[in-house]
Amino acid sequence: MSVADYFDYWFENYVEKKLKYNTQKNYLNIINKYIKPEIGKYYLSSIGPSRLQDLMNKLPNGFDRPLAKHSVEIVLTVLKGAFKRAVYPWQAINSNPMVYVEMPAFENKPKQTRDDMKIITMDQYQKILEFNPPSSPFRLPLMIGFHTGLRRGEVCGLQWSDISLDERTITVDRIMLQDKHGIQLGTPKTQASFRIIAIDDVLAAELRRARKSQSENKLRYGKFYYDSTFVCTKDNGEPVTPNSIKWHSSRIKKELGIDFNFHSLRHTHATMLLEDGVKPKIVQERLGHSRIATKMDKYVHVTRKMKTEAVDIFAQRLKKSAER
């Protein structure tokens, strides 16, 4: 059996049956782009640690473009998972060569700045809202992203059963996925992504307006209305999709001259909360991250500001004590 044949078998009998849709897409891309071209022609039983290490070492600088450290880690995960199952339970090989393969070395890159993360100001956000009046199907998704920090797929996957306007909460327990075959619903990738988050009065009012508008449009379009329970929809009831949000975000960037993508809203939401003194643990839970380090490492610009403010507060306290 060749390596290419084995990875086809592994993908069909394990990945497609056990892993989430987005993970399947990522793994298939890795198999077709990096694994098969490099080692696919060899017999599975002939592959040793040195050839696999050569593949890993090539990833940071080779192929059509350099890969980031996180992307190389995913390739390593794919290789380890596939070869582990080749030993047990499938017994296609006697030992696992990936046991001896290591991550290649990476230079430590400087932490991301506010500009790198495309964090926007309140003035820029107001310009974005003006560009998307209440009649725009993208106004509500943009407001949800700004007020909650939800991801694009999470926003598009929201249904009215997830919204409690009385309790002012949004429940996140599904995402919308989109590929060339259309849209489908899936579950969030990690347990931490399943969450209930509080919303403010401004967003609650916009949600009420949107629900009323949907009812009016349903009467106006009649049998031509696309009846669904999605929160973010066009006038004819069709759901707003992740790809359409991505396209519209590019339009915002071009038309308004703002360095912006939809994920900017998530970074901006987190930054504002942290700068206003919300505890990192609360921000972590609100964003749906399983570890504080996952998020706080990105917000080094915030922690610097918080440290500076802490020193200023301490200095002011000493000054007041000295004046007594």
pLDDT at 296: 61
Secondary structure letter of residue 162 according to DSSP? G
Strands (E), 151-245: 163-164, 169-172, 175-179, 182-186, 195-198
The set of residues, in sequence order, having a beta carbon less than 8 Å from that of 81 and lying 6+ positions away, is 10, 14
Contacts 24+ apart (CB under 8 A), 285-290: 285/192, 285/195, 286/148, 286/149, 286/195, 286/197, 287/149, 288/151, 288/154, 288/172, 288/188, 288/190, 288/192, 288/193, 288/194, 288/195, 289/192, 290/190, 290/191, 290/192
pLDDT at 261: 95
d(C-alpha 306, C-alpha 106), whole Å? 29
Parse the chain into domains and list their residue ranges.
Answer: 3-100, 122-300
pLDDT tens, residue by residue, 73-113: 999 999 999 999 999 999 999 999 999 999 998 876 555 55
Enter the CATH code of domain 122-300: 1.10.443.10
pLDDT tens, residue by residue, 180-216: 788 989 988 788 899 999 999 999 999 999 999 999 9
pLDDT tens, residue by residue, 221-276: 999 999 999 999 999 999 999 999 999 999 999 999 999 999 999 999 998 888 88
Smallest CA-to-CA distance from 141 within 226, 266, 320 is with 266
pLDDT at 188: 87
Q: 238-242, 245-249, 279-283, 306-310: which has the minimum mean pLDDT?
A: 306-310
Tell me: pLDDT of 120 over 90. Answer: yes
Give the alpha-carbon dihedral of 12, 13, 18, 24, to 10 degrees. -20
Domain 3-100 in CATH 3.40.50.300? The answer is no
